[in-house]
Amino acid sequence: MPTPTQLAVTRLLREVTGEDEAWAAAIGPATRLDGDLFLDSLELAALAGRLAAAYGAAVDLAGYVAGLELEALLTLSVADVVSYVDSTRGTT
């Protein structure tokens, strides 16, 4: 069962990519932003902006991603984003 944060991240991913509900239904915790969804830098920036708008400026996905090593960036998953959002908000 997806968590509320995972549902929100999936909804925001759908918004920034313009994909349909069937696409979003296939997203799970292990789905990688780069390797599976092929998000480009503009979509990642848009996701960061929407997360900040939804959860407050403390959720700085762009800053978080900027601090990642290349391997971590390439394997960044929906679960990683959810974990980051939840930990920033103090909900984990």
Q: What is the pTM of this model?
A: 0.93
| Nearest CA-CA partner of 33 in 48, 52, 53, 55 | 48
Helices (H), the chain: 4-17, 21-25, 41-55, 61-66, 70-74, 78-89
The predicted-structure confidence for 10-50, as pLDDT tens digits, reads as follows: 999 999 999 999 999 999 999 999 999 999 999 999 999 99
d(CA 33, CA 42): 12
| Locus of tokens 């991913």 | 13
